[in-house]
């Protein structure tokens, strides 16, 4: 199983990267969550935001597999402990690559290496479209999309 998306964004790789990692922008792109990590291979990564455990609910956690500023982020992906009791056995890998193309940026995301019977596959398939569309919108206009929730 694999999810794969390619977006062309009317902004530089640095501007797109800023949407991913600047908490003021990523909070809007990730619909209320921010990335917490030292951003070095082998270090933990967490997506944290409001949820069942309060303002700092861990929605996703994992380990950085590869990191190259403005170019690559790859990490393992587990659902947060408050979402599934068996969260440690549920895993996939996410790889985001940014590449300049003319005066825009090609964002290519692959979410693969899903563990068997991972119930998050269908939910994730829906939400990546929204998150990536938000990243594009914020990088190009400064504003997220209104999804009505």
Domains of the chain: 3-141 (3.30.530.20)
What is the reported pLDDT for 108? 98
What is the reported pLDDT for 55? 86
Rounded to whole angstroms, the Cα distance separating 4 from 42 reads 24
Write out pLDDT tens, residues 72-128: 999 999 988 888 888 999 999 999 999 999 999 999 999 999 999 788 888 898 899
Percent helix / strand / coil, the chain, rounded to 5:
30, 40, 30
Rounded to whole angstroms, the Cα distance separating 19 from 139 reads 6
Q: What separation in angstroms does the CA of 56 have from each of 47, 48, 50, 79?
A: 9, 5, 6, 14
Rounded to whole angstroms, the Cα distance separating 70 from 91 reads 25
Write out pLDDT tens, residues 16-32: 999 999 999 999 898 88
Task: Name the average pLDDT for the chain.
Answer: 93
Rounded to whole angstroms, the Cα distance separating 53 from 104 reads 39
Are residues 21 and 27 in contact, defined by beta-carbon separation less than 8 angstroms? no
Closest Cα to residue 109, out of 48, 43, 29?
29
What is the reported pLDDT for 52? 86
Has residue 137 got a pLDDT over 90? yes
């Amino acid at each position: 199983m694999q999810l794969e998306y390619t977006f062309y964004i009317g902004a530089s790789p640095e501007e797109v990267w800023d949407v991913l990692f600047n908490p003021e922008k990523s909070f809007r792109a990730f619909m209320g969550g921010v990335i917490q990590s030292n951003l070095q291979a082998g270090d933990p990564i967490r997506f944290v935001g409001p949820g069942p455990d309060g303002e700092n609910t861990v929605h996703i956690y994992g380990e950085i597999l590869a990191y190259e500023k403005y170019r690559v982020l790859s990490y393992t992906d587990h659902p947060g402990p408050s979402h599934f009791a068996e969260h440690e056995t549920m895993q996939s890998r996410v790889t985001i690559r940014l590449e300049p193309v003319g005066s825009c940026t090609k964002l290519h995301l692959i979410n693969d290496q899903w563990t068997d019977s991972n119930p998050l596959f269908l939910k994730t398939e829906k939400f990546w479209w929204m998150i990536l569309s938000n990243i594009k919108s914020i990088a190009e206009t400064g504003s997220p999309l209104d999804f009505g929730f």
